[in-house]
Structure 1
Amino acid sequence: MAPARDDARTSTPIGAERDPRRVVAFSDGVIAIAITLLVLEIRPPEDTRDLLKGLGELWPSYTAYGITFLLIGQMWVNHHVMFDHIHSADRLVLLLNTLLLMHIAFLPFASAVLAGAFESGHGERTAIVFYGISYVGAAILFNVIWEYARHGRRLLAPTIDVAGARAISRRFRPAPVWIAVGTGLGVLHPLLGLVLVAAFIPFYWLPIKGEIASVKRARESLP
């Protein structure tokens, strides 16, 4: 049976499978740069005669910074959740991961647009839709990468069983819908839409119990 498995891997049209550690290292670098760039979008008040008032008026920038920082941090955590259990990456995984990083690198700009609209009081609806679409794309790519990797378990490590893989899928699947609903609500009421998107943060920082149980079972089965 083992030789047949090896033959199936070498004959795959997607390309050779590679150690994903370089994928993770490169991704960590891109995410670190994106999350650091966020603070550069907060501009100090030009008029310092009433500095306290000027700093207070920057609340949209602080809000956009905080929400986006935590969301990108959340993506970093969930990226590690995926690649802790993906033992090899073929060319399609590399492509999908590159597209995911492209979305993440774009988020500081989307955050700046959101903050600018709320600070000026104009274009808030367009800004929340623009911001939401940026996140929906990333959330969809998370699902696509994970579902592709776990299909047939060809790319998954033995550290996770079927139940654990399903638990991760159950956590990832609601994300695009959740953000899309928040974006849609933002068309009607921008601030409420932003609150709904922000409510996404605490839920997705929770540990995935099924994944934890799966890893524990795998460790206990080791000799």
Structure 2
Amino acid sequence: MTDDQGRIRPGHTPERVGFFTDAVFAIAMTLLVIEIPRPEGDEAFSVGDGVSKAAAARHLWDFFIAQTGSFVAYLLAFFMLWTAWRQHHRLFDRLDRLSPGLVGWHFPLLLLIGFLPYPTTVYGHHTDNPAAALLFVLSFGGLLIARSGVQSQALRDNLLRTPADAAEVRTGARASWIVAGYWLASVLLCWWTPWVIVAWVLTPVIGFALARGDRRRDTSIGSG
């Protein structure tokens, strides 16, 4: 947004919002690992006092196997956040200013990014509980909607530097809304946990296929 002299109004420069969003992403991605249980305070994991190296290693291995759900939830949430961050980064590299609507979309986006470590922990500890899966899918589904809203708002408010930038963002926004809908549709599978995670793991593949298909279609239309 600019004033009457064409200058960007205070609070509408992309740099500060981009830096702050990067920080929230980084903190949330770091916090994902905090709640994964650690083998502390159990003598069975230490060699000595009648515990052999083989027994200690076996006990520790069994402990890691018991935390499989937490590790899988961590990897999934980290990868999805990383993907969302990369898309946000690419978008902000194409902006020369912000609008009130675009700034407003960042409130739910950052709120859900900061909240995501909690449902990730709950689901990681209780992968067989439909309520835990529901909390996770709704939290990340809301994040995907907010991410898509940011992209669409940039297009509506004509904030992109060049027409080529707008075309690429439009392609990404279409794919982003479809992925958000796909993710929320997996709510129907939450009762059959942990199998719902198969649908979640396929999310990046679907997003990539949609974006690639849109790019090919736009290219063929442009050449035609």
- Same fold, TM-score > 0.5, yes or no: yes
Query: Following TM superposition, by how much is the alpha carbon of 1:82 offset from its aligned partner in structure 2, in angstroms?
Result: 2.0
Q: Secondary structure at the match of 1:160?
A: helix
Partner of 2:130: 125
> 1:31, 1:104 within 8 Å by CA — same for their partners in 2?
yes
Q: Does residue 99 of structure 2 align to residue 90 of structure 1? A: yes
> 2:172, 2:211 within 8 Å by CA — same for their partners in 1?
yes
- Match among 15, 29, 34 for residue 35 of structure 1: 29
Partner of 2:154: 149
Residue segments in structure 2 that go unaligned for 5+ positions in a row:
46-55, 219-224
Q: Does residue 193 of structure 2 align to residue 190 of structure 1? A: yes
Worse-matched range after superposition: 130-139 or 193-202: 193-202
Partner of 2:51: none
Q: Does residue 64 of structure 2 align to residue 55 of structure 1? A: yes
> 2:175, 2:210 within 8 Å by CA — same for their partners in 1?
no
Q: Give me the whole-angstrom Cα distance separating, in 1, the residues matched to 2:37 and 2:104.
A: 35
Q: Aligned letter for 2:100?
A: R
Q: Cα–Cα, structure 1 residues 35 and 114, in superposed 2: closer, same or farther, change >3 Å?
A: same
> 1:129, 1:186 within 8 Å by CA — same for their partners in 2?
yes
Q: Aligned letter for 1:191?
A: P
> 1:17, 1:91 within 8 Å by CA — same for their partners in 2?
no
Query: Following TM superposition, by how much is the alpha carbon of 1:45 offset from its aligned partner in structure 2, in angstroms?
Result: 3.1
Equivalent pairs: percent with the same residue?
25
Query: Following TM superposition, by how much is the alpha carbon of 1:84 offset from its aligned partner in structure 2, in angstroms?
Result: 2.1
> 2:119, 2:136 within 8 Å by CA — same for their partners in 1?
yes
- Match among 113, 119, 132 for residue 122 of structure 2: 113
Query: Following TM superposition, by how much is the alpha carbon of 1:87 offset from its aligned partner in structure 2, in angstroms?
Result: 1.8
> 1:31, 1:105 within 8 Å by CA — same for their partners in 2?
yes
Return the TM-score normalized by structure 1.
Answer: 0.78
Q: Does residue 63 of structure 2 align to residue 70 of structure 1? A: no
Partner of 1:166: 170
Q: Which runs of 4+ in 1 moved over 2 A?
A: 5-10, 15-18, 45-49, 159-166, 201-212
Q: Cα–Cα, structure 1 residues 169 and 192, in superposed 2: closer, same or farther, change >3 Å?
A: same
Query: Following TM superposition, by how much is the alpha carbon of 1:33 offset from its aligned partner in structure 2, in angstroms?
Result: 0.5
Q: Give me the whole-angstrom Cα distance separating, in 2, the residues matched to 1:206 and 1:33.
A: 30
Return the TM-score normalized by structure 2.
Answer: 0.78
Partner of 2:19: 25
Q: Secondary structure at the match of 1:191?
A: coil
